[in-house]
């Protein structure tokens, strides 16, 4: 039976798309989001024109690559908020988020970046931020989380964890777990000593 040319073209296009996503996911995990579209096309074995036909912007590619990870992050904060123990939920969310960061360099960059053309992704990030704010207030009200914890402290935690991972890639996950455990202990309300005042500290935009 002869396969119609149009069907063959669709199959080739779908194969190219799947190949690009697979290679992009691996490359972002290894190198982060700074890697060029041309390098992704080279690694995927396709022309840059083919890459841009499938994904007109880097934001579009990143959105598709990390859609499942972002959804997993949303599910993680939903579980944390649903936990009747707000401190346990707070602690578990930080542990899981930093573990994702340690296993995939590109993920956190995608999570903290702003994508003007990716409405669904940006909405999910805003949902995570809003729910994390709710969780921190509950943990403070329960007397478990130090009262001066600020949202910027999450940004600092992620950036510091990123630096630790980059400095020790061979033992990234183990080193990250130990660092995060130290930080979580410092976030506890008991025996908390005064800190310098918090300053505006936004999650960085890695795609600017």
196: number of Cβ within 10 Å:
6
Among 135, 131, 136, 132, which Cα is nearest to 146's? 136
Task: Report the distance separating Cα 20 and Cα 23, nearest Å.
Answer: 5
Same-domain check for residues 90 and 110:
yes
Q: What are the pLDDT digits (tens) for 50-86?
A: 999 999 988 888 888 877 777 777 889 999 999 999 9
Same-domain check for residues 131 and 197:
yes
Residue 60's SS3 state is helix
The residue behind tokens 């505006």 is 200
Q: What is the CATH number of the domain that holds 118?
A: 1.10.357
Q: What are the pLDDT digits (tens) for 93-138?
A: 999 988 888 877 666 666 555 444 444 556 777 788 899 999 999 9
Same-domain check for residues 136 and 44:
no
Q: What are the pLDDT digits (tens) for 162-185?
A: 888 888 888 888 999 999 999 999
Same-domain check for residues 81 and 1:
no
Same-domain check for residues 35 and 111:
no
Structural domain boundaries enclosing 206: 66-208
Residue 61 lies in a domain: no
Same-domain check for residues 32 and 99:
no
Domain count, the chain: 2
Q: Where are the alpha helices (DSSP H) in the chain?
A: 5-31, 37-44, 48-54, 58-82, 86-103, 105-112, 119-141, 151-167, 172-187
Q: What are the pLDDT digits (tens) for 10-37?
A: 667 788 888 999 999 888 877 878 889 9
Asked whether 136 and 147 are in contact (CB, 8 A), the reply is no
């Amino acid at each position: 039976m002869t396969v119609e040319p149009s069907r063959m073209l669709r199959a080739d296009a779908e194969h190219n798309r799947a190949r690009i996503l697979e290679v992009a996911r691996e490359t972002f995990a290894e190198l982060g989001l700074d890697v060029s579209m041309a390098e992704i096309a080279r690694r995927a074995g396709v022309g840059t024109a083919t890459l841009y036909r499938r994904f007109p912007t880097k934001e579009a590619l990143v959105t598709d690559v990390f859609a499942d990870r972002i959804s997993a992050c949303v599910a993680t904060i939903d579980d944390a908020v649903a936990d009747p123990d707000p401190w346990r939920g707070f602690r578990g969310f930080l542990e899981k988020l930093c573990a994702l960061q340690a296993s995939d360099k590109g993920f956190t960059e995608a999570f903290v970046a702003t994508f003007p053309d990716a409405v669904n992704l940006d909405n999910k990030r805003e949902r995570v931020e809003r729910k994390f704010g709710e969780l921190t207030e509950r943990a403070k009200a329960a007397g478990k989380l130090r009262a001066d914890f600020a949202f910027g402290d999450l940004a600092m935690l992620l950036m510091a964890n990123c630096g630790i991972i980059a400095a020790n890639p061979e033992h990234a996950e183990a080193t990250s777990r130990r660092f995060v455990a130290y930080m979580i202990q410092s976030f506890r309300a008991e025996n908390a000593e005064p800190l310098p005042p918090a300053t505006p500290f936004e999650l960085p935009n890695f795609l600017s």
